Homo-oligomer: A and B are copies of this chain.
Amino acid sequence: NSLLFRRGLASLKPAQSLFAPLDTFPERHIGPDDAEASKMLSQLGYESIDDFVAATVPPKIRVASNSVDNTSIPTFSESQLHARAKELAGQNKPFKSYIGMGYHCAVVPPVILRNVMENPAWYTPYTPYQPEIAQGRLESLVNFQTMVTSLTSMDIANASLLDEATAAAEGMVMAFVSARNKHTFVVDSGVLPQTVAVLLTRAKGFGIKVVVGDVAALLKDEATRSDVCGVLVQYPDVNGNVKDFRVLAEITHSLGALVVCATDLLALTKILPPGEWGADIVVGNSARFGVPAGYGGPHAAFFAVTDKLKRKMPGRLIGRSRDTQGNPAYRLSLQTREQHIRREKATSNICTSQALLANMAAMYAVYHGADGLQRIATKVHKFTQVFKNTVEALGYKAINDTFFDTVTLDVSAVATAEAVHTKAIAAGINLRRIDDKHVGVTLDESVSPEDLVALLNVFSSTASAQPVALASLSEPQSSNIPATLQRISEYLPHPVFNKHHSETEMLRYINHLASKDLGLIHSMIPLGSCTMKLNSTSSMIPLTWPEFSSVHPFAPYDQVQGYHKVIKELEDDLCKITGFAAASLQPNSGAAGEYAGLSVIRAYHESRGEGHRDICLIPLSAHGTNPASAAMAGLKVVPIKVHNDGNLDLEDLTAKAEKHKDNLAAFMITYPSTFGVFESGVQDACKIIHDNGGQVYLDGANLNAQIGLTNPATCGGDVCHMNLHKTFAIPHGGGGPGVGPICVSEHLAPFLPSHPAMPVRGEQSINAVAAAPFGSASINLISWAYIKMLGGSGLVQSSKIALLNANYMASRLQDHYVLRYKNENGRVAHELLIDLAEFDKAAGLKVTDFAKRLQDFGFHPPTCSWPIQTCMLIEPTESESLEELDRFCDAMITIRKEAEDIITGKQPKDNNLLKNAPHPMSIIASSQWNRPYTREQAAYPLPWLREKKFWPTVSRIDDAYGDLHLICDCPSVEEMAHRD
């Protein structure tokens, strides 16, 4: 219809055929339309996208065009996907769960559900590496930290870990490292089985000996006493007991070991906090604070320590520092502890964690406050008491008399456990399966009086007794928490937890914080290696349907058929994309995937009697998680050199591989490399490794450059992880959640991780690497939907446009900045590395100065000083339109001119637009203005900023001050009073 020709503006293509759906996702997902793509191609000098790809991706590694296409991965339109998701949702049975074991049915306050979890302002930002445009979620994460320290009575807490089990493992390693040369870690038999499984896995790499049993008894054993580095207790324990660990803590300390305590935040409103009885490290799961169970995750684990351990804590820690104006400002503290700095010397590889879920939990505490939490805990405890009293009257016997929310019953006087479970299942209820005599019951906030009666009637009918009526239940007067273990200390007195209790106030607080943060809702976030692409609404919607969100991770498989179809389909599609044979979705971050993959490699070697292979070759350009993960898996890291142009030094590789051939376990490589390089020698490199008995681990962070063009198997890998939160469109959530599944070749498949809750366990499987059998299961839905809606051709087109967008930017920027790398055809991969070293030399301008100045243009800076100190790594992804690419390039080019003025002396070196950046409103609005540039130059350097400007809310933050004066709690009553 020629009259409708849009004069070169963006437009949608006509339908392919009468019956083709119109709500096709690729055209909504991919930023540039055909006209824009053509424009970019012709600017780069190519006739077609295929010519361009041919010049960009080395021919040697290309895969057949049918490896990923609409036959192998058929396309669903948005509404078809919605219908399919509904169908699968209907295949999950909504049983009421009393399984407990660390997982609960959380009640999500609707205001938080809608305005945090379902709000792109909260879920699209990245980890707050740029604190001036992230004060909102930084404040919220400090609320999380404060909530944890206050409830646990510990000195300091981090901003979340992946799950309780891995948090406990981090605690174990901290104890191990602190104790030096003591190798035994004692785990109480009351600890959750999934935690024990993860500890066993993790202990291996560090050579820690885990012993499980009655801790007090075990600590009487002399061999243990002399070798113990730490103990782990569960408080309350898996059976519900609330035990007094004071004496245990004293004994442990007297042995020079640390006490790690896994606990429950809601119980802590009632029971003596671990910080008051001597725990050194306290971990747990914050999900019952308003985070849906989601068949296992995501949710935020917490990790708190005493003051003396604070500088060794794993994970991200938010602290309060000050900006150049002296105003309080939040930032990531103590980053020097992190894996990206410490590499193989790091004892933790944690990178992406669970920011969004930590924020939800923190908001839950803000909304309820101490009194609200107290009344929830009171209800849960009293309901549990009513439960116990009533079933005991029916003849069942509780094996624990102290408890907060969990009762373990010996049912044998009445019936078999199986008989109880049968009645429960018939009533749509899941109980904890223990053995043939014992049944566990855990209550939570979601249990209504009617639910309680239905639960009781499972037991009354099993006992052939009269049904229980609500009216017959009476309120218990005493508590089942021992008097000596009752909490008396105050918690959450801070103003933030005591003023947002009306929905209006809460909504405004949530919105106010969100308004300080830059996310994908504002502009591109061209963070190299992070792949910040569209997180589509269609893929987000099913997540919060109750059929997916409220499923317990240990629910019987026959109740979660819908989930298992999603898991199976996603695994299959990931295998098609990577060229591998099998997948595991258990690892809940990229780094966790690395660790899992390397553990699989180790198990493979062991299975062949080559358990001694422990050398891991890693290029110097690798992401810091690689060496950290290798070290955690018990591998010794041998670095491989990298050429100046980004390519691997194959000679060095050959030399090291041959040198270590008897002990070579693995080679870790990122492809395209972290320099944004499609190395043409990748297959040769892998062959060298294989020839010397090693396995190749491919870090798939950059998979977005590969789909349908090449794949990790073709490149020569044996295993790879993917970051579903990068390539497969799970939103970054401001620093998590993530999913880091691994795919492996046929020969490695038998070793993929198992889990105590999996019905069938492979004989050769490594043990669990995460608390839940399918990790952060619910968000797999996002990647599943993403893949299904793009279909094979959309996936491949996305990769092609990701490459095109990056190359277009490179071509615009290379006249102004030093482009570190391009291939023989002048092409970069899906990201580009520019080097700013010259500006430091010429005028003392650092990468940070450029980054902060970009904030004034409303952009999130690219990845800074990684993988090269003096560089910026820019990754646009396929979702950005040509207009947005141009806006960013215009900003960069404008800053280049501003830098020129500084170099030539037009502007002073110490007081200029870059050094003073960013410029928040408070500075612009100040009457004082003794700067050699105007306010307009500071705030509106390009005309479109007048229409659309995102304002940083603080000026540049003082990092050193923050690390020196470590404050990680939110302001107290006194401090707030002082501020007003």
Binding site for B on A (CB under 8 A): 1, 3-4, 6-7, 9-15, 17-19, 21-23, 27-31, 33, 78-80, 107, 109-111, 113-115, 118-121, 368-372, 374-376, 378-379, 382-383, 386, 445-446, 448-449, 470, 473, 475, 488-490, 493, 495, 498-505, 507-508, 511-512, 515, 520-523, 534, 536-538, 540-541, 879-881, 883-884, 921-922, 924-927, 934-936, 938-940, 943, 946, 948-949, 951, 973, 980
Contacts and interface: CB of A to CB of B under 8 A. Distances in A.
Contact of A28 (B17, B115, B493, B503): B503
Nearest to A524: B504
A511 B501 contact: no
B121 A511 contact: yes
B536 A110 contact: yes
A872 to B, nearest CB: 22
Contact of A6 (B21, B493, B522, B935): B493
B19 A881 contact: no
Contact of A375 (B12, B115, B448, B499): B12
A371 B14 contact: yes
Given A3-B489, A14-B375, A31-B505, 11 more contacts: A6-B369, A6-B370, A7-B493, A7-B498, A10-B369, A10-B505, A12-B372, A27-B501, A31-B502, A505-B881, A512-B522
A11 B493 CA distance: 11
16 contacts: A4-B490, A6-B493, A6-B498, A9-B495, A10-B369, A11-B372, A15-B378, A17-B475, A18-B386, A27-B501, A27-B502, A503-B537, A504-B880, A507-B520, A921-B921, A925-B925
Contacts of A369: 6, 10-12
Contacts of A14: 371, 374-375, 378
B501 A12 contact: yes
A508 B521 contact: yes
A881 B501 CA distance: 10
- Stoichiometry, as copies per complex, reads 2
Contacts of A949: 921
Contacts of A17: 475
A80 B448 CA distance: 9
Contact of A879 (B28, B379, B449, B502): B502
A933 to B, nearest CB: 10
A490 B78 CA distance: 29
B934 A927 contact: yes
Given A4-B370, A110-B541, A879-B502, A925 B924 contact: yes
Interface centre among A121, A490, A504 (most CB of B within 10 A): A504
Nearest to A546: B86
Contacts of A27: 501-502
A317 to B, nearest CB: 24
Contact of A18 (B12, B374, B475): B475
B936 A110 contact: no
Q: Which 7 A-B pairs rank lowest in CB-CB distance, beginning with the nearest?
A: A9-B498, A110-B537, A511-B521, A11-B371, A12-B372, A19-B449, A18-B475
Nearest to A533: B504
A521 B505 CA distance: 9
A13 B371 CA distance: 7
